[in-house]
Structure 1
Amino acid sequence: MKYWCLRMGIAALLLTVAAGCGTVKSLGKNPEGEELVKLEALPNYKNGAFQNLTKRPDSTVKHRNRVLFMLRRRPETIRPSHALPWVKTDLKTLAAPAPTIVWFGHSSLLIKTGQGNILIDPIFSNHAGPVPGLVKAFKGSRHYHARDMPPIDVLIISHDHYDHLDYRTLKKLKDHIKMAIVPMGVGSHLIYWGFDPKKITELNWNQSVALPGGLRVIATPAQHRSGRTYSKVNKTLWASYVIQAGQYRLFYSGDGGYGSHFKQIGQQYGPFDLALLECGQYSPNWPWTHLLFGQTAQAAVDLHARLLQPIHWGKFAEADHPWNEPIEKLLPAAEKLGIEVNAPRIGEPYTLGYPPKKAVWWNFE
């Protein structure tokens, strides 16, 4: 463990130096020039950074603090002792009589609808971060790759953290994506990585885009933060999303803590057939920027969701809690509030309207 921490410390130091020299492509590029001027005119951009709706004590926690937290000695239970069970699905031929969701672990999802294929926060490079080895994916969660994806009609990105915006994955997918929908400022990273600016749509909270065939995507508020280097944080926006596909409504939380915005979204855009809600990577060190298990269930109630599927767990260890604690704690909290939970295995398709997946696949320690 001592040598692992030493390696990670050296990697973090090298990353800091590389960031200063501008030599690491995966760091991306924050908005500047005319792009930055446009952001500075937005009501939620103040004092040189994007702001949450409600000011919280840890709203501007520096990335350095989180890296130091990641490098210290941590419990063995934060990672599974065995490879996770998974299902191999042919995504290119998968039928979708109604919106069909395939989860790849953490927050990566493919949603197949009659209106097109939607890919959300894909990360298929088996680690989260600019330097391989910092945050490794669990065994069993590494079987899906960019080459397995069908043509992507819409790429949706929630924010620019490495476990949601992955340079190596997007580099491979770039030519197979028809359109990318991202929060304000995040398009700068994609353009830097070679995306056609004409294929990128940036949205502020409560802005929307309508696509052919009856698909509509709305960016909605989230309580979180952004940034890909230690020194520059909150230069791009973070968002949750409402996805309207024909008669169906889905909600994707991205990352974010609990707040009154869930009720507001539920009142304005609900009810939802499915809420894909963050559940995992919480810590007392950042209590306002991630949902606790009880808060995940309450957020589903606030959203008027008929079904809840937990995301942001099952692939990476980014906090000190046991890897399967999020789902173990969520289930009784959701039952108490009368919320039904869908918990598929990685790669296992779920089609709206069918009974939720309830097999307890995570309890094998």
Structure 2
Amino acid sequence: MLLTLGIIVGLVGVYYVFMNVYPIFGRKPSRDEMKKFAKSPQYGLDKFENPVPAMMNMSFSTTLGILRDMIKGSPNRRPATSLAMDKPQFIGNGDTSVTWFGHSASLLMIDGKSLLLDPMFGRTPSPFPWLGKNRYSNGIPFEIAELPHIDAVILSHDHYDHLDYGSIMKLKDKVNRFIVPLGVSGHLIRWGVPAAKIEEHDWWEEFTYQGLELACTPANHFSGRSVNDRGATLWCSWVIKGKQSNIYFSGDSGYTPHFKHIGDKYGPFDLTLMECGQYDERWADIHLMPEETVQAHLDVKGKVMLPIHWGAFTLAMHDWNDPVTRAVRAAQEKGVEIVTPRIGQTITLRGSDIGNYTKTDWWVQA
């Protein structure tokens, strides 16, 4: 019994040391920070919560079904070959432009400002990035050193497929400001980002940054980077409004009335970057199904929709190109203008019209 107890205590000790020494996990909020978070309407019982409860069906039979689907796999859950990439354009011409890098990582140029949205540029979304398969494109279409100086990095939440330690370490000296939801600053500070360069926001907070009008808006999702920090930090979507364009970035979310509330308050939007991928009926409360992606775009009063959160990693059981195929079909059925750029392709928004964009179903040939 003493030996068993000693082994258990030793394992707990190793786990505690590892969690506190290994930087990729980030940092949980302190007690003082949690007291500040308690002022947020989204905070309760020592964690952030969704107004609409987000449930994952994790019954025994459902869990067995997920395991069966994962083991069974599918020949089309990854592309047969590495996805081709375009060389992005980092010098703007004054118009609003967006460059999608796969999954949710994008560069938004608006009113002469450069904003990186959820810049996950790593090989795999994991606390152990040397494990697992590389992203579908086998890299990104540029070296981080090639990026212009970034006015702001805007983060939606702290999951590994959105907040990447390796990417932040390479980016942090090129960025003026990190704009994040409540609690996420702790990760960045642990990774060497000065606190003075970070600002945190709660849902429905409005503020300006270098002439841009921004609002931190709701999403129905969750957060966490380890086994005991679910809900320790907030998740969100973002409204980014300049003189020329009004942009909506959905982050990750299930479908709830919050999209209509955002549209009523801040719409219409010239362009929406809407989550579309890594979905399953068993976790539909926290990720949009492709048809819901199109409906959410309509709810926020979007004009042109760019589907994101696909094209880089296999995080669900569907075919890798199923999200865009279904989203395009749903958009056509509802008369929604949808743009599907290749990875690295820079598209320009002139007013509410896409300028230099050629529509192709490139994912069919990939």
Please report the TM-score for the alignment, with normalisation by the length of structure 1. 0.89
Q: Tell me what 2:176 maps to.
A: 178
Q: How does 1:261-340 map to 2 (within 5 A)?
A: 261-340=258-337
Q: 2:43 aligns with which of 20, 42, 45?
A: 45
Aligned-partner SS, 2:274: strand
Q: Tell me what 1:198 maps to.
A: 196
CA distance in 1, matches of 2:26, 2:138: 29
CA distance in 2, matches of 1:323, 1:248: 31
Q: Residues 72, 146 of structure 1: CA spacing in aligned structure 2 closer, same or farther, 3 A cutoff?
A: farther
The letter of the residue matching 2:86 is V
Q: Tell me what 1:139 maps to.
A: 137
Q: How does 1:89-104 map to 2 (within 5 A)?
A: 89-91=88-90, 94-104=91-101
Q: Residues 314, 21 of structure 1: CA spacing in aligned structure 2 closer, same or farther, 3 A cutoff?
A: closer
Q: Tell me what 2:167 maps to.
A: 169
CA distance in 2, matches of 1:122, 1:317: 18
Q: For the Cα contact (< 8 Å) 2:213–2:241, is it kept in 1? A: yes
Q: CA deviation at 1:17?
A: 3.9
Q: Residues 71, 293 of structure 1: CA spacing in aligned structure 2 closer, same or farther, 3 A cutoff?
A: closer
Aligned-partner SS, 2:150: coil
CA distance in 2, matches of 1:19, 1:231: 14
The CA deviation string for residues 265-285 of structure 1, in whole angstroms up to 9 with x for no partner, is 000000000010000000133
Q: For the Cα contact (< 8 Å) 1:227–1:233, is it kept in 2? A: yes
CA distance in 2, matches of 1:40, 1:278: 29
Which structure: greater strand fraction?
Answer: 2
CA distance in 1, matches of 2:16, 2:162: 21
Q: Residues 327, 21 of structure 1: CA spacing in aligned structure 2 closer, same or farther, 3 A cutoff?
A: closer
Q: For the Cα contact (< 8 Å) 2:88–2:141, is it kept in 1? A: no
Q: Tell me what 1:154 maps to.
A: 152
Q: For the Cα contact (< 8 Å) 2:92–2:112, is it kept in 1? A: no
CA distance in 1, matches of 2:110, 2:79: 33
Q: 1:348 aligns with which of 345, 349, 363?
A: 345
Q: 2:27 aligns with which of 26, 29, 50?
A: 29
Q: Tell me what 1:211 maps to.
A: 209
Aligned-partner SS, 2:262: helix
The letter of the residue matching 2:168 is L
Q: For the Cα contact (< 8 Å) 1:129–1:135, is it kept in 2? A: no
Residue 364 (structure 1) aligned with residue 358 (structure 2): no
Q: CA deviation at 1:320?
A: 0.7
The CA deviation string for residues 104-162 of structure 1, in whole angstroms up to 9 with x for no partner, is 00000001122410001111121111102235311355333322321010110000000
Residue 251 (structure 1) aligned with residue 251 (structure 2): no
Q: CA deviation at 1:364?
A: 1.8
Percent identity over paired residues: 37
Q: Which runs of 5+ in 1 are unaligned?
A: 1-12
The letter of the residue matching 2:75 is E
CA distance in 1, matches of 2:83, 2:265: 38
Q: How does 1:70-89 map to 2 (within 5 A)?
A: 72-89=71-88
Q: Residues 60, 250 of structure 1: CA spacing in aligned structure 2 closer, same or farther, 3 A cutoff?
A: farther
Q: Residues 71, 48 of structure 1: CA spacing in aligned structure 2 closer, same or farther, 3 A cutoff?
A: farther
Residue 108 (structure 1) aligned with residue 105 (structure 2): yes
Q: CA deviation at 1:293?
A: 0.7
Larger deviation, residues 139-148 vs 157-166: 139-148
Q: Tell me what 1:225 maps to.
A: 222
Q: For the Cα contact (< 8 Å) 1:218–1:242, is it kept in 2? A: yes
CA distance in 1, matches of 2:198, 2:362: 38
Q: Tell me what 1:242 maps to.
A: 239
Q: Residues 198, 21 of structure 1: CA spacing in aligned structure 2 closer, same or farther, 3 A cutoff?
A: closer
The CA deviation string for residues 151-198 of structure 1, in whole angstroms up to 9 with x for no partner, is 010110000000000010001111111001000000111111111111
Q: CA deviation at 1:216?
A: 1.7
Q: Which runs of 5+ in 2 are unaligned?
A: 1-10
Q: CA RMSD in A?
A: 2.3
CA distance in 1, matches of 2:17, 2:70: 19
Q: For the Cα contact (< 8 Å) 1:18–1:24, is it kept in 2? A: no
Aligned-partner SS, 1:54: coil
CA distance in 2, matches of 1:18, 1:308: 44
CA distance in 2, matches of 1:312, 1:114: 25
Q: Matched residue pairs, number?
A: 344
